[in-house]
Amino acid sequence: MDNLLGTRPSRRRSPSMLAAAWLVLSAGAASGAVLRVGTFQGQPGDYTSIQDAVDAASPGDWILIAPGDYHERGDYTHASPNGNSIGGVTITKPNLHLRGLDRNAVIVDGTKPGAGACDASPDAQDLGPPDGNSVPSGRNGIEVFEVDGVTIENLTVCNFLTGSYGGGNQIWWNGGDGTGTVNLNGFHGAYLSATSTVFLGPDAPGAEYGIFASNVHGPGLIE
């Protein structure tokens, strides 16, 4: 996967260290509760969907994600807070910590359920819920909407494309796009990859930004 924001290598930990993290963190070693997504080395987590874990979490909780190709569709089940495209994973709670166990193997995937990881074929692309005119509205990947202190680490997001409501952003700390106000204070991202593997044409839906923050006030860091 392409890293669109720097050249830091993936965090590589031994399988034993990751297994320990999966088990120890679930026992409450970190501050806040730990919610586990997926299955790691035969140990099932608490959720199969990242969005479901986010919905169940409380501010200050950790969400630990096992390797897998996650075709998240929170934008199909959650109302947009501002009328624009929202994320396949939408975070509206402050101080959550979202961490993958493997930067290259934890994939938040904008393609249709059942497609291969970051599939480049046109038929595999999911262009979002239909708008009022039955036109695909577009999709964002992971979107943090107007909440402070959210950390995202050690994962890949791909193939979230534009539509009638916008979208096309893979990882976005959104502090109030289009409002002219700053409604997000404090954010952190690290060891992230964001890419689009598909080109549908010059005037067709496509990707916009890989990893970015807008309408925000620090402190903030993407590394």
Q: What is the pLDDT of residues 31-64, one digit of tens each?
A: 789 999 999 999 999 999 999 999 999 999 999 9
Q: Which of 142, 130, 128 shows the shortest CA–CA distance to 205?
A: 128
Write the CB contacts of 202 (distance below 8 Å, at least 6 apart in sequence). Answer: none
Cα angle, residue 158 at apex, residues 156 and 164 outer, rounded to 5°: 140
pLDDT value for 4: 36
Q: Which of 136, 105, 131, 104 shows the shortest CA–CA distance to 39?
A: 105
3-state SS class at 68: strand
Q: How many residues does the chain have?
A: 223
pLDDT value for 19: 59
24 pLDDT tier (thresholds 50, 70, 90): low
Looking from the CA of 217 toward its CB, the CA atoms found within 13 Å total: 6
As a whole number of angstroms, the distance between CA 114 and CA 73 comes to 13
Q: Which two tokens stand for residue 6?
A: 């720097």
Q: Is the dihedral of CA 146, 127, 70, 113 positive or negative?
A: positive
Give mean pLDDT, residues 200-209.
85
Q: What is the pLDDT of residues 129-177, one digit of tens each?
A: 999 899 999 999 999 999 999 999 999 999 999 999 899 999 999 999 9
As a whole number of angstroms, the distance between CA 177 and CA 134 comes to 24
As a whole number of angstroms, the distance between CA 86 and CA 143 comes to 7
CB atoms within 10 A of CB 16: 9
Q: Do the Cβ atoms of 165 and 189 come closer than 8 Å?
A: no
Q: Which of 196, 202, 178 shows the shortest CA–CA distance to 84?
A: 178
CB atoms within 10 A of CB 91: 25
